[in-house]
Structure 1
Amino acid sequence: MAFYCPDGAMAQQLQASLEDLEAVGRPGLREQVSITWVRYGSSLIDSASPRSDLADFWADRPAGAAWRGDQARYPASVVKLLYLVAAETWLQRQLIDDTPELRRALADMIRGSSNDATGLVLDLLTGTTSGPELPAEAFERWSLQRQLVNQWCEQLGWSEWAGCNACQKTWGDGPYGRERQFYGANLENRNRLSSDFCARLLHGVMAGALVSPLAGGRMRKLLARSLDPGTRAADPENQVDGFLGEGLPAGARLWSKAGWMSQARHDAAYMEAEGLAPMLLVVFSEGADRSRDHQLLPELCRRLINPS
């Protein structure tokens, strides 16, 4: 069962928006995207922390709709959101040390989407390091260690995890040595996440329902994006322009983690704007054309944040 309650009117609005966006020069769009959209009656921020039983929070399902929301796709840098939550979980369980270097890596991983920082974080989470190819027995041990985040996700018991995989670093030029060995001959072990899973993860982060309220506050601080034009102009890779945040009205607030590469343009965002219902929106779009499409995500956000 989805963490949101399916809403027929939202589903119709989402489908109509996709049909319109496909009709203006985006053939095949509906096969290229996965979307999960959730709308709230009031602010989601820290809404779980006053509750003594988190089961009550998860049982209170907001209205939502999805398009191919359960389809696992390559998540690009959106996987860094999951690694952030995992790091805060490991810290709470005292499985890793809370050091200035770890905090610097987490900040750079989320704010600037640094692949180098992500590599350190995943090394700490799994007790593995990159390097030359390994002989069979050593590689088997290494591979088991690298599955620790997957094992934790499985233990969450979320139906949205089905078909997902999160055990790889993120790259600029690509993996080498044992990292390439771990991908498999046909890249069958690439990361895979669904928009439904990422939406539930971000839902929990924003509400303070994962790890602890204090950790939730730290994660939200890293995910916060400035919509100030001057700030955005000073940072061409601001994760707002060309993504969902660009579609927000002036004065809105945004928390997000984008992902982009030659074959993908994704975003996972929670947003609040005066006079409009708060909403959470995760969009995965695949293919070279979608990667270069700077207008798709902003336009979809504009269409969905306003009631039909």
Structure 2
Amino acid sequence: MAFYCPDGAMAQRLQSVVAQLQADGRPELEQQLSITWLRYDHSLLNSAAQASDTAAFWAQRPAGASWNGERPLYPASVVKLVYLVAAEAWLQRQLIDDGPELRRALADMIRDSSNDATGLVLDLLTGTTSGPELAPDALAAWGQRRQLVNRWLAELGWPEWQGCNACQKTWGDGPYGRERQFYGANLENRNRLSSAVTARLLHAVIAGGLLSPQACRRMQELLARSLDPAERAADPENQVDGFLGEGLPPGARLWSKAGWMSQARHDAAYVEAEGQAPMLLVVFSEGAERAADTALLPELCRQLLQG
């Protein structure tokens, strides 16, 4: 059962918006998208604290709709949201030590989408390091440690996790040595996420319904994005322009993690705007044309927020 309640009117609206955007000069767009869209009656922010327990929170299913939402795709830097939550989970269980360098890496990983910071975080989570190629037995042992985040997510029992994978670092030029070995000959071990599992994870973080309230507030702080035009102009890689946040009206509030590379443009966002129902929207778009399409995600957000 989905963690949200499928809403027929939202599904029709989503289908209509996707069809119109495809007709606007984006052939095959319907096959290039994975979308999960949720709407709330009231603010989701830290709302889990208002429930009697965790089970009661998850029983409060928001209205939602999906477009290929269960289809796992390469998530680009959206996977950094997974590693952020895992790091706070490890800290809560005292599996890793807290400290200024970890906090600096987490901040740079989310706010600036640093690949170098992500590498450090994943090394700490799994007890692995990059380096030269390994012999088969050593590579197998190394690879088992790299699966720690996957095993933790599987233990949550979320049906949305099926078919997904979060065990690789993110790269500028690409993996080398043992990292390339671990991808597999045909890159079959690449990271994979669906918009559905990403939406559930972001839903839990914003509501404070997965880890401690303090941990969730720390993550919310890192995910918060400024919509101030001057601040955005000063930071060309602000994860707002060209992404969902660009479609928001002035005065809106945004928490998000974007991902972009030569074959993908993705975003996962929770937004609150005056006069509109709070909304959580995850959009994955794949292919070179979509990666270069800076208008698609803002328009999707604009249309669905109004819908």
Residue identity in the other structure for 2:185: A
Matched residue of 1:258: which SS? Answer: strand
Report the aligned-residue RMSD.
Answer: 0.4
> CA separation in 2, counterparts of 1:57 and 1:209?
7
Matched residue of 1:48: which SS? Answer: helix
Matched residue of 1:270: which SS? Answer: strand
Identity %: 76
Q: CA deviation at 1:51?
A: 2.5
Give the match for residue 204 of structure 1: 204
Q: CA deviation at 1:50?
A: 2.8
Residue identity in the other structure for 2:270: Y
Give the match for residue 294 of structure 1: 294
Matches within 5 A, 1:264-283: 264-283=264-283
Matched residue of 2:254: which SS? Answer: strand
Give the match for residue 45 of structure 2: 45
Matches within 5 A, 1:122-161: 122-161=122-161
> CA separation in 2, counterparts of 1:4 and 1:295?
28
Give the match for residue 101 of structure 1: 101
> CA separation in 2, counterparts of 1:245 and 1:2?
26
Give the match for residue 73 of structure 2: 73
Give the match for residue 14 of structure 2: 14
> CA separation in 2, counterparts of 1:50 and 1:292?
42
Give the match for residue 171 of structure 2: 171
Q: CA deviation at 1:73?
A: 0.1
Deviating 4+ runs (over 2 angstroms) = none
> CA separation in 2, counterparts of 1:143 and 1:229?
44
Is 1:180 the counterpart of 2:185? The answer is: no
| 5+ long unaligned stretches in structure 2 | none
Give the match for residue 246 of structure 2: 246
Give the match for residue 31 of structure 2: 31
Tell me the TM-score normalized by structure 2. Answer: 1.00
Residue identity in the other structure for 2:151: Q
Tell me the TM-score normalized by structure 1. Answer: 0.99
> CA separation in 2, counterparts of 1:84 and 1:51?
24
> CA separation in 1, counterparts of 2:94 and 2:229?
40
Give the match for residue 191 of structure 1: 191
Matched residue of 1:49: which SS? Answer: helix
Matched residue of 1:202: which SS? Answer: helix
> CA separation in 2, counterparts of 1:124 and 1:209?
24
1:53-78 Cα offsets, whole Å, 9 max, x none, are 11011011000000000000000000
Residue identity in the other structure for 1:61: R
> CA separation in 2, counterparts of 1:301 and 1:45?
19
Give the match for residue 229 of structure 2: 229
Q: CA deviation at 1:232?
A: 0.1
1:216-260 Cα offsets, whole Å, 9 max, x none, are 100000000000000000000000000000000000000000000
Residue identity in the other structure for 1:58: W
Residue identity in the other structure for 1:65: A
Residue identity in the other structure for 1:244: L
Q: Which moved more, 1:52-61 or 1:234-243?
A: 52-61
1:82-107 Cα offsets, whole Å, 9 max, x none, are 00000000000000000100000000
> CA separation in 1, counterparts of 2:68 and 2:51?
32
Matched residue of 1:255: which SS? Answer: strand
> CA separation in 2, counterparts of 1:164 and 1:41?
30
Matched residue of 1:283: which SS? Answer: strand
Matched residue pairs, number? 307
Matched residue of 2:255: which SS? Answer: strand
> CA separation in 2, counterparts of 1:121 and 1:209?
23
> CA separation in 1, counterparts of 2:52 and 2:89?
19
Residue identity in the other structure for 1:200: R
